[in-house]
């Protein structure tokens, strides 16, 4: 049987990706996580006298803390299996990626295992985040010094 014939059979039988269902699940879970974040932001502003900006930072840190607990208890896995991008895209997903890799690396010790493996999944986010920020700021700086743009 040649590969083309095989591809046809395989495609016929393989269940198609449920695009709509996945998008809906991502929307719901992602939306709820952000709504929870909004609640936390309000709490910080009302009860702790934070400003809008500092409340935003505190919210992100709090959500990472929550994802640490959920990851450690094995619950974030189940959420992720259901929600896909709905749980991977919020910062809680970033926290989950770092924390899960850190916990798993424990068997190789804290230096090589935890430290060496912690950024297995999240490292590229940090790299590209920093890299793109650098280039964008640099480009704007150049354009401003050329007089094309203003700050």
Question: Residue 22, interface with another protein (CB under 8 A)?
Answer: yes
Site for another protein in 91-150 (CB under 8 A): 91-107, 110, 114, 118, 120-122, 124-126, 128-130, 132-134, 136-141
- By CB under 8 A, name the one of 43, 50, 56, 116 that touches another protein: 56
Q: Which of 19, 111, 146, 147 binds another protein (CB under 8 A)?
A: 19
43 touching another protein, by CB under 8 A: no
Q: In Å, what is the CA distance from 146 to each residue of 32, 134, 150?
A: 45, 18, 10
Smallest distance from the beta carbon of 47 to another protein, in angstroms?
14
Which residue in 38, 41, 39, 60 sits closest to 50, CA to CA? Answer: 41
- For residue 68, the SS3 value is helix
The verdict on 44 binding another protein (CB under 8 A) reads no
Residue 119's CB is within 10 A of a number of other CB atoms, namely: 16
Alpha carbon distance 91, 46 (integer Å)? 23
């Amino acid at each position: 049987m040649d590969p083309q014939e095989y591809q046809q059979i395989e495609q016929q039988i393989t269940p198609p990706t449920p695009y709509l269902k996945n998008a809906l699940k991502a929307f719901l879970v992602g939306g709820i996580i952000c709504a929870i974040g909004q609640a936390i932001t309000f709490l910080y502003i009302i009860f702790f006298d934070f400003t809008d900006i500092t409340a935003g930072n505190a919210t992100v840190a709090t959500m990472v803390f929550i994802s640490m607990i959920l990851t450690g208890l094995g619950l974030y896995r189940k959420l992720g299996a259901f929600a896909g991008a709905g749980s991977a895209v919020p910062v809680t997903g970033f926290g989950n990626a770092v924390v899960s890799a850190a916990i798993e690396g424990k068997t190789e010790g804290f230096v090589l295992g935890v430290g060496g493996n912690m950024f297995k999944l999240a490292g590229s986010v940090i790299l590209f985040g920093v890299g793109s920020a650098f280039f964008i700021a640099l480009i704007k700086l150049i354009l401003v010094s050329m007089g094309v743009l203003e700050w």
